[in-house]
């Protein structure tokens, strides 16, 4: 089954404790991206990647890191999480870019206390 998976689905952590949210797709997509969703603000893009070793900033990259060492994986790293990063995070992938249909993962709900 073609899908985007994220882990963990739920995470509660404390300020400053490094964490990684994993994202994997099995569709051989070149384009992958991360979004955060906050009430009243819709989805905002954090980072995107056009292919292996190619990443670029989205709308709200501050406080986040990403890497793309393999085509199928695109982890989101929070080196020192803060409470304002409490949010619902989505990973998505598409064939080659933003202009194509995006396939979304199920989401990761992160709470930073």
As a 3-state breakdown, the chain gives helix, strand, coil percent values, each rounded to 5, of 5, 50, 45
Residue 35, strand partner residues: 45, 90
Sign of CA dihedral 42, 44, 48, 50: positive
Compute the chain's Rg from CA coordinates: 13
Kindly tell me which residue out of 13, 88, 95, 111 binds other proteins, with binding defined by CB under 8 A.
Answer: 88
DSSP string, 43-94: EEEEEEEEETTEEEE-S--TT-EE--SSTTB--EEESS--GGG-EEEEEEEE
Kindly tell me which residue out of 7, 11, 19, 43 binds other proteins, with binding defined by CB under 8 A.
Answer: 43
Question: What's the min distance (Å) between Cβ of 89 and other proteins?
Answer: 11
Question: What's the min distance (Å) between Cβ of 19 and other proteins?
Answer: 20
Kindly tell me which residue out of 53, 59, 70, 79 binds other proteins, with binding defined by CB under 8 A.
Answer: 59
Kindly tell me which residue out of 7, 22, 103, 111 binds other proteins, with binding defined by CB under 8 A.
Answer: 103
DSSP one-letter code for 42: E
Q: With contacts defined by CB under 8 A, name the span among 12-20, 63-71, 74-82, 103-111 that binds other proteins.
A: 103-111
Binding of residue 31 to other proteins (CB under 8 A)? yes
Binding site for other proteins (CB under 8 A): 4, 31, 33, 35, 40-45, 48, 50, 56, 58-59, 88, 90, 92, 97-107, 109
């Amino acid at each position: 089954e073609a899908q985007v998976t994220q882990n963990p689905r739920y995470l509660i952590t404390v300020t400053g404790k490094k964490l990684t949210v994993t994202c994997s797709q099995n569709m051989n997509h070149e384009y992958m991206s991360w979004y955060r969703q906050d009430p009243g603000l819709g989805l905002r893009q954090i980072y995107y990647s056009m292919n292996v070793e190619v990443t670029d900033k989205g709308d709200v990259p501050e406080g986040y890191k990403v890497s793309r060492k393999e085509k199928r994986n695109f982890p989101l790293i929070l080196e020192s999480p803060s409470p304002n990063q409490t949010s619902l995070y989505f990973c998505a992938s598409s064939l080659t870019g933003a202009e194509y249909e995006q396939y979304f993962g199920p989401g990761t709900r992160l709470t930073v206390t």
